Amino acid sequence: MSSVSLVPIFATPFAVVDLPEAVAANPALAALIARNATPERRDPQFLEDPFCYRSREDLFEWQEEALVRVLAPALSGLCDAVQQASAQSPEEFSRLGMQARGRFAIVRPLGAIPAASAPMASWCAVYCVAAPAPSASRADSATLRLYGIRGSSMFMDAANHRMRDPFSLSHQSWRPVAGQMAVFPASMLHEVALNHADSDLILLLMRVRFALPGQMGVPSW
């Protein structure tokens, strides 16, 4: 019998952060978002889509209480998740400055968000304001899908086409739940799958990066 030491390498961090202090603000935030889903606030870089609305990336410039009550704990929870994945001590991490950009998205029935990664950032956060009930016909309805591309250059054969976690090469999904937030590296290709339910999925989409005090050369957004 061979002696084998099998360990995972190149692991990808993914965190689900519960934000109970933000849940109470979700109804007011959903109403605020509905009022502001106007043609003027739509991000012109995306093609107009009657089934999916994405706002301009200016959420952190808003002063409305309902949004502040969600963004404050969301950023704190994101920092907690990133710090747990970091080799830096809590003291070292606390000295870093954070830069963040955010938008809201409304994924309506038959809507989706196409696959993309987040440029000029190190982390993505997806906070769920409101979610439809699971679809009886499609288990992946309105889920956040994260694409595993490590195997794109691998020769696939009868032995490696199906490996167990954490070595699996399959894509991963997260079902948004109101009051929860997913955090993952911004370089990951991700999308929101087609919403087969009969109500809207409302999300806050954030991209974040960190810098040392006085650090030079950080590219502009």
Per-residue pLDDT tens for 98-126? 999 999 999 999 999 999 999 999 999 99
165/124: higher pLDDT: 124
Predicted confidence (pLDDT) at residue 42 exceeds the cutoff of 90: yes
- DSSP codes joined into one string, the chain: ---------S----EEEE-HHHHTTHHHHHHHHHHH--TTTB-TTSPP-TTEEEB-S-GGG---HHHHHHHHHHHHHHHHHHHHH-SS-HHHHHT-EEEEEEEEEEE-TT--EEEE--TT-SEEEEEEEE-PPPPSS-TTTT-EEE---GGGGSPP-TTTSS--TTS--S-EEE---TTEEEEEETTS-EEE----SSS-EEEEEEEEEEE-TT---PPP-
The whole-model pTM stands at 0.93
Residues of the chain above pLDDT 90, percent: 81
The stretch 179-196 carries a mean pLDDT of 97
Predicted confidence (pLDDT) at residue 1 exceeds the cutoff of 80: no
Q: Domain-by-domain residue ranges, the chain? A: 15-210
Predicted confidence (pLDDT) at residue 153 exceeds the cutoff of 90: no
- CATH fold for domain 15-210: Jelly Rolls (2.60.120)
202/219: higher pLDDT: 202
Per-residue pLDDT tens for 64-93? 999 999 999 999 999 999 999 999 999 999
